[in-house]
Amino acid sequence: MAIPYEFGYVKPTSLQEAIELKGKFQKEARVLAGGTDLVNEIKKGFRVPEMIIDVKGISELSKIEIVNGQLLIGALVTFSDIRKSQVIIDNMNILFEAAGMVASNGVRNRATMIGNICSAVACMDSAAPLLVHEATVHTASMDGKREVKIQNWFVDNRKTAILDNELVTHVSIPIPTVKYAGAYQKMMRYSGEDLSQANVGVLLFANGDCHVAFGSVGPTPKRSLKIENLLKSKGISVATIEEAKEMIETVIAPITDVRATKEYRMHMTKVMFERAMQTAMERIKMPKIITK
């Protein structure tokens, strides 16, 4: 039995063609890359489009490369591609780590990181790594190109700053000029196949700076400048990490749902923050960062 909703399908071979189609259909067209979210949503009757634009024929969207000190990750890059990319391993260890925890291998082979941030479900694994790395989302439309800073990208649960006539081409991540190391922590019931109940990303820099982001503990993932400033001004120590853990209560707003209670999420976010800090502190001391 087919999906009980009808829609059209088109597979453009150039970005220009895809942009024109998105401009024509506006929000009545949805962009298909991996489809692990999109096909599920359509099956459930959630935001069924008139037209599906399959962008898998646009090869320029599948690049992972460094251009002018910026790491570029295209819209067709899957989590499995990220796990196999030496460029990612060498330059964005926290994304490599987080990508390995997304669903299962069979989903990672198909699901894209850009799809993850476009679906923007609050428990997504890509957000914390992109937030701590101060990524920029690049979109294209008939009106031209647009850049949105990742902290402005997530508007609400399942809602982003994308416009109806746009599609996302890639994200860019500035490669820091000082040494750095990231760490990602994800709370789930069992490894290999689960959504996060809470997640934490930290990025430490050799100059004492540090970036911290939380996911699945509010409608949107969140970076906390308050915690970062505390750790930066007082220095990272056992005492300041304890102080920061207390501060987390004022930063995140977890809810109780079928997967965890808000109290458990709050408690575990503090624990995971401490673990992530410890892991990142160990990693930054290594001559070469090893991430599993």
Partner 1 sequence: MGKITFKLNGETRSILVEPNEVLLEVLRDKIGVKSPKCGCDSGDCGACTVIINGKTVRSCLILAIEVNGQDILTLEGISKHGLSPLQKALHERNVFQCGYCAPGMILSATELMLNIPHPTEHDIKEAIAGNLCRCTGYTPVIEAIIEVTKKV
Residue 21 in contact with partner 1, rule: CB under 8 A: no
Residue 46 in contact with partner 1, rule: CB under 8 A: no
- How many of the other CB atoms lie within 10 Å of CB of 98? 31
Residue 246 in contact with partner 1, rule: CB under 8 A: no
Among positions 63, 110, 262, 267, the unique one binding partner 1 when judged by CB under 8 A: 110
At CA 215, angle to CA 70 and CA 52, rounded to 5? 70
| Owner of token pair 């460029």 | 87
Residue 278 in contact with partner 1, rule: CB under 8 A: no
Residue 119 in contact with partner 1, rule: CB under 8 A: no
54-93 footprint of partner 1 as x/- string (CB under 8 A): x-x-----------------------x-------------
Q: Which two tokens stand for residue 260?
A: 């965890």
Q: Which residues pair with 78 in a beta bridge?
A: 112
What is the rounded CA–CA span in Å between residue 77 and residue 80?
Answer: 8
Helix, strand, or coil (residue 166): coil
Closest to partner 1 by CB, 49 vs 254, is 49
Q: Which two tokens stand for residue 232?
A: 């930066």
What is the rounded CA–CA span in Å between residue 203 and residue 131?
Answer: 10
Specify the stretch interacting with partner 1 by CB under 8 A; choose among 1-9, 19-27, 59-67, 226-234: 1-9
Residues in touch with partner 1 (CB under 8 A): 1-9, 11, 32, 35-36, 39-40, 42-43, 52, 54, 56, 80, 103-107, 109-110, 191-193
